[in-house]
């Protein structure tokens, strides 16, 4: 039977090392299957988060050969099996144990976003064309692969100032909602630090749900921030006519 | 199953370029750097020449519209080129390309960035990326002149004709038009700024622009190549190196 070699991160907190494992492979096997095999045979204490094994719960995010991926969606036949496959936890978040990370910072950021607030006298009728645009953002499964790969968080650790792509997607879904009456542009610029994003599109590259994070969420939000804070003509018109 | 400790934790301090990636992650930024670098060098050289920009009914796009005034003692290209240069420099697609290839911040996804301190586009000078829409307006004005040049390129001493140069100028202007139409700022100005499309026609235009926007990278590279080639074609014809072939 064909075998694959793995180097799996083991350890608690900031302490850890890569440990070698060899796993027999079958057709259609994914990285999560291999982690389960290791749990069953060599290391029952290997910590791996998972739930649906169908790329819908977003629990099994990890870095496979250095790229953020869902382990349940990463097939072994995509790799050169003559070399070991490296499996590590998400780099942008503190490691709890082995491949399990503490992602609670994301939930704290999420709580700060103003929720959906209907406009006054909303008649609750929406056009399908308006719904279609925000529907894409509802596909997010909160795997945090985008947060993990974003260099603003990963390399520069600007967590207090920068919310990250996942939450720009959420804000975009709210800001573009045809019935929402809240304005989040000030928070987007000042508290969530959208200006730190330099459009390198890594979030889009790694999104397992194929959400066009940069083109459809971040850039439209950046443009709305420009409307309010950087466009001299619009600022002049607002000061002349007092329109918000 | 045998286990073996082979490496220390990932949490050690990392240096530029450090990554666990095993693919050719460096290839894409390298190709971008070469492609953009080659174009910048050629365009700068061509702009400094100040000659060989006209041949028959053809005018190089680097010099269109041709503005010759007494008080300007440099190449007329410099009166024009700051607009498309600014448009491309502040373009959301090119930002990705040159931040990765030249600023190395980051060179590829999951690869350690070069810079230690980072302000993104919140501070001078990169905060000026936010005026992209004004360069879009300038570039759109230039497109009218470029289409006018295409019309003139069908006129050979008062007679209708089509030369290879006509096709080159047409292809160049078409690609530049598509590059402008697929712009993220245009998409915003047309309908992205609205939460609801009350007008169905506006939504249709927004959808068409969104469709073109999905291929913005394609239009960015093809138009970049073609505008350089169009200048080269006119230049080599004017220098007598190439002969323009009449098709009709």
Token pair listed for A240 = 């002349």
The DSSP symbol for A84 reads: P
Q: What is the CATH number of domain A3-101?
A: 3.10.20.30
CA distance A70 to B73: 60
B19 and chain A in contact, CB less than 8 A: yes
B208 and chain A in contact, CB less than 8 A: no
Instruction: Tell me what pLDDT residue B189 has.
Output: 96
Type and span of the H or E element at A156: none
pLDDT tens per residue across all 248 residues of chain B: 444 443 333 444 678 988 999 999 999 999 999 999 999 999 999 999 999 999 999 999 999 999 999 999 999 999 999 999 999 999 999 999 999 999 999 999 999 999 889 999 999 999 999 999 999 999 999 999 999 999 999 999 999 999 999 999 999 999 999 999 999 999 999 999 999 998 889 999 999 999 999 999 999 999 999 999 999 999 999 999 999 999 98
Residues of A in contact with B184 (CB under 8 A): 215, 219-220, 223
Region A221-235 average pLDDT: 96
Measured between CB atoms, which of B5, B21, B192 is closest to A19? B5
Instruction: Tell me what pLDDT residue B13 has.
Output: 61
Å from A135 to nearest chain B CA?
13
pLDDT grade for A172, boundaries at 50, 70 and 90: very high
B153 half-sphere exposure, CB direction, 13 A CA radius = 31
Instruction: Tell me what pLDDT residue A192 has.
Output: 97
CA distance A220 to A241: 25
How many residue pairs bridge chain A and chain B with CB atoms within 8 Å of each other? 161
Residue A1 to residues A24, A149, B1, B9, B142: CA-CA distances in angstroms?
Answer: 6, 35, 16, 32, 65
Token pair listed for B155 = 């006129």
Three-state secondary structure of B165-217: HHHHHHHHHHHHHHHHHCCHHHHHHHHHCCCCCCCHHHHHHHHHHHHHHCCHH
B102 and chain A in contact, CB less than 8 A: no
Measured between CB atoms, which of A127, A193, A219 is closest to B92? A219
Residues of A in contact with B15 (CB under 8 A): none
Residues of A in contact with B193 (CB under 8 A): 223-224, 227
Number of H helices, E strands in chain B: 8, 5
- CB B135 within 8 Å of CB B90: yes
Instruction: Tell me what pLDDT residue B5 has.
Output: 40
- Average confidence score pLDDT of chain A: 95
Instruction: Tell me what pLDDT residue B11 has.
Output: 40
CATH C-level class of A104-233: mainly alpha
Where, residue-wise, is CATH 3.10.20.30 in chain A?
3-101
What residues contact residue B139 under an 8 Å CB cut-off, 6+ apart?
A: B83, B84, B87, B176, B180
Residues of A in contact with B14 (CB under 8 A): 155
| Nearest chain B alpha carbon to A69 | B110
In the block, tokens 């931040």 appear at B99
Instruction: Tell me what pLDDT residue A149 has.
Output: 98
Helix (H, G, I), strand (E, B) or coil at B54: strand
Q: Residue B11 CB: number of other CB atoms within 10 A? A: 15
- CB B177 within 8 Å of CB B223: no
B202 and chain A in contact, CB less than 8 A: no
Residues of B in contact with A174 (CB under 8 A): none
Region A143-155 average pLDDT: 97
Instruction: Tell me what pLDDT residue A243 has.
Output: 66
| Nearest chain B alpha carbon to A229 | B130
Q: What is the pLDDT of residues A5-52, one digit of tens each?
A: 999 999 999 889 999 999 999 999 999 999 999 999 999 999 999 999
B121 and chain A in contact, CB less than 8 A: yes
């Amino acid at each position: 039977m064909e075998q694959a070699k793995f180097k799996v991160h083991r350890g608690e907190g900031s302490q850890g090392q890569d440990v070698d494992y060899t796993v027999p492979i079958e057709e259609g096997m994914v990285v999560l299957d291999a982690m389960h095999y290791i749990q069953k045979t060599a290391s029952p204490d290997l910590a791996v988060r998972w739930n649906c094994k169908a790329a819908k719960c977003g629990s099994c995010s990890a870095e496979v050969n250095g790229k953020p991926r869902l382990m349940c969606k990463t097939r072994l036949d995509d790799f050169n099996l003559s070399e070991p496959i490296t499996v590590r936890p998400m780099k942008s978040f503190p490691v709890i144990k082995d491949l399990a990370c503490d992602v609670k910072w994301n939930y704290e950021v999420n709580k700060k976003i103003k929720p959906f607030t209907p406009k006054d006298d909303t008649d609750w009728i929406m056009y399908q064309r308006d719904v279609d645009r925000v529907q894409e953002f509802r596909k997010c499964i909160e795997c945090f692969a985008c947060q993990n790969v974003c260099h603003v968080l990963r390399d520069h650790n600007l967590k207090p100032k920068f919310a990250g792509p996942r939450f720009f997607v959420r804000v975009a879904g709210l800001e573009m909602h045809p019935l929402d009456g809240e304005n989040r542009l000030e928070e987007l610029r000042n508290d969530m630090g959208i200006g730190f994003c330099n459009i390198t599109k890594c979030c889009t590259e790694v999104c397992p749900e194929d959400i066009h994070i940069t083109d459809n969420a971040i850039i439209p939000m950046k443009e709305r921030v420009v409307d309010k804070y950087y466009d001299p003509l619009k600022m002049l018109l607002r000061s002349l006519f007092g329109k918000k | 199953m045998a286990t073996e400790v082979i490496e220390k934790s990932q949490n050690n301090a990392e240096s530029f370029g450090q990554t666990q990636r095993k693919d050719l992650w460096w290839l894409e930024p390298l190709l971008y750097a070469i492609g953009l670098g080659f174009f910048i060098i050629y365009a700068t050289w061509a702009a400094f020449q100040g000659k060989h920009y006209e041949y028959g009914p053809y005018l190089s796009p680097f010099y269109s519209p041709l503005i010759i005034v007494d008080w300007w003692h440099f190449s007329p290209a410099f009166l024009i080129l700051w607009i498309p240069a600014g448009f491309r420099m502040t373009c959301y697609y090119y930002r990705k390309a040159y931040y990765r290839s030249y600023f190395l911040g980051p060179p590829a996804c999951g690869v350690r960035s070069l810079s230690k301190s980072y302000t993104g586009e919140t501070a001078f000078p990169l905060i000026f990326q936010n005026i992209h829409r004004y360069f879009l307006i300038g570039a759109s004005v230039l497109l009218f002149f470029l289409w006018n040049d295409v019309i003139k390129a069908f006129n050979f001493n008062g007679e209708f004709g089509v030369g290879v140069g006509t096709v080159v100028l047409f292809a160049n202007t078409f690609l530049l038009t598509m590059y402008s139409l697929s712009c993220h700022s245009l998409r915003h100005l047309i309908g992205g700024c609205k939460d609801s499309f009350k007008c169905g026609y506006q939504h249709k235009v927004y959808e068409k622009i969104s469709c073109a926007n999905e291929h913005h990278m394609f239009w960015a590279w093809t138009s970049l190549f073609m505008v350089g080639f169009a200048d080269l074609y006119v230049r080599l014809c004017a220098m007598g190196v190439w002969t323009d072939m009449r098709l009709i």
